Amino acid sequence: MTVLLDVGGLVKHYADGTRRREVLHGMSFALAEGEVLAITGPSGSGKTTLLNACAGLLVPDAGSIRLTTQSGTVDLARLGEGARTRLRRHHIGYVFQFFNLVPTLSVRENVLLPLALTGRQSLAARALERVAELGLAESLDAFPDQLSGGERQRVAIARALAHEPRLVLADEPTGNLDAASASTVIELLCRHVRDLGAGLLVATHDSAVAARADRNVGVVR
Ligand SMILES: Nc1ncnc2c1ncn2[C@@H]1O[C@H](COP(=O)(O)OP(=O)(O)OP(=O)(O)O)[C@@H](O)[C@H]1O
Ligand SMILES: [Mg+2]
């Protein structure tokens, strides 16, 4: 078993009025290649904070986030912003809770954006095939505001996978979907992650998603 992501002793403080609020409280876990790990916990416990830290979008106040790629192992908590951005662009795919699609770009352009940013146009054909597998072949020229919530969610998934990252992060990927669409979306996400040999961290309130994961890790409030 190859460990892809090794998180140890993570702590983040936020200013809460005049007080400091601690989240994550030193949480530790590891994610193996090919593994699907569900991150569960009550609202406000720190699931999004954890995913943002693993994406290199925020730096924790303590702890390490060791990501292993073809080029070796690095600790995101010790890297500067430029290095974290490069690492994210190449090795991490993030399905944001509220999609974060670019409203002025079409579905095709949104999905291909990670390839434009890293100059890896050779992955474009496969990325567009994945759009079709996600049931969006007819929507390639549509803009995000012409799509339903479930369709936007699937575009966000296709975009997160376009550059074939090692680590996929998904924040409540079924949060806006009915039970049937939720189960389709999570199946597709898990299948594509498995096909890429990547690891998936999925923050969720949905017990069906948690049950679909190989393991669950709880975040304590
Ligand atoms: N930028 C910020 N500034 C101050 N406090 C913050 C900030 N971001 C998050 N928090 C606080 O940190 C705590 C954890 O937030 P986080 O968004 O990580 O929780 P969550 O588990 O994802 O919640 P939910 O299930 O509602 O999405 C919350 O109490 C929140 O108010
Ligand atoms: Mg959240």
Per-residue pLDDT tens digits for 83-134: 999 999 999 999 998 889 999 999 999 999 999 999 999 999 999 999 998 8
Distance CA 213, CA 195 (A): 16
Distance from the first to the final alpha carbon of the chain: 30
Distance CA 29, CA 217 (A): 8
Distance CA 167, CA 35 (A): 10
Is there a contact between 170 and 201 (Cβ–Cβ < 8 Å)? Answer: yes
Residue 198 binned pLDDT confidence (cut-offs 50, 70, 90): very high
Distance CA 40, CA 49 (A): 13
Dist. CA 12 → ligand 1 center (Å)? 10
Q: Regarding beta strands 62-69 and 92-95, do their DSSP bridges make them parallel or antiparallel, or are they unpaired? A: unpaired
Query: Quick one: pLDDT at residue 77?
Result: 97
User: Ligand 1: residues whose CB is within 6 Å?
Assistant: 14, 23, 41, 43-49
- Is the pTM for the entire model greater than 0.85? yes
**169 pLDDT exceeds 90?**
yes
Q: What domain count does the chain have?
A: 1
Which atom of ligand 1 is least distant from the CA of 203?
22
User: Using the 8-state DSSP alphabet, how is residue 77 labeled?
Assistant: G
Q: What is the separation of C-alpha 14 from the centre of its chain, rounded to a whole number of angstroms?
A: 22
Give me the domain span that covers residue 211: 3-218
Q: Give the CATH number, domain containing residue 187.
A: 3.40.50.300
Residues 6+ apart with CB under 8 A from 121: 115
One-letter-per-residue 3-state SS of 162-211: CCCCCEEEEECCCCCCCHHHHHHHHHHHHHHHHHHCCEEEEECCCHHHHH
Nearest C-alpha neighbor of 46 from the set 31, 63, 60, 64? 60
Q: Using most ligand atoms within 8 A of CB, pick from 10, 18, 21 the residue to mutate for ligand 1.
A: 21
Distance CA 124, CA 111 (A): 9
Residue 188 binned pLDDT confidence (cut-offs 50, 70, 90): confident
Query: Quick one: pLDDT at residue 21?
Result: 93
Which ligand gives the minimal distance to the CA of 205?
A: 1
